[in-house]
Amino acid sequence: MKHYVDSMAGSPVNPVQMSLLMRVYYLRNATMQTLAQHMETDRTTTTRNVDVLVRDGFLEIGEGKDRRQRLVRLTERGHEALEVSIPKWRKAQDELKNALGDELWNNILREARTLIELGGIACDRTAQAA
């Protein structure tokens, strides 16, 4: 993670914030619940992270179908932050991939996907037991 933080120096957002902005960009008008699921975090953590980005002008919250539903979307400043940050992220990613080599890189990605899937299963089982 330090590699990404260092590589993104001068960006308006940090790597975690950029990841959240990217999810909002692709999901377009996502609810907090949907965003939390896609971020693989609980809703409270997602809300806290979104609130910081709203405060800093990168995201805005709108109403959904009813007042209880909050929709998250990028502001113009959020789009600009991605334009600045994505090239730095890609450069960091390429450097890491080159340092590790294709085989190790692909193994890490495969194992990370497995861990995410197992985490989802564990979360589902915990929710069912409650």
Place of tokens 């089982």: 125
The predicted structure's pLDDT at residue 120 = 62
Distance between start and end Cα atoms, the chain: 34
Comparison of pLDDT for 65 and 128, the residue scoring more: 65
The predicted structure's pLDDT at residue 29 = 87
Q: What is the pLDDT averaged over residues 14-19?
A: 93
pLDDT digits (tens, 9 = 90+) for 71-121: 999 999 999 999 999 999 999 999 999 999 999 999 999 998 888 788 765
**What does pTM read for this prediction?**
0.79
- Alpha helices (H) in the chain, listed in sequence order: 2-7, 15-27, 32-39, 43-55, 76-100, 102-129
Domains of the chain: 2-129 (1.10.10.10)
Contacts of 68 (CB under 8 A, 6+ apart): none
- Provide φ and ψ at 102, rounded to 5°: -60, -45
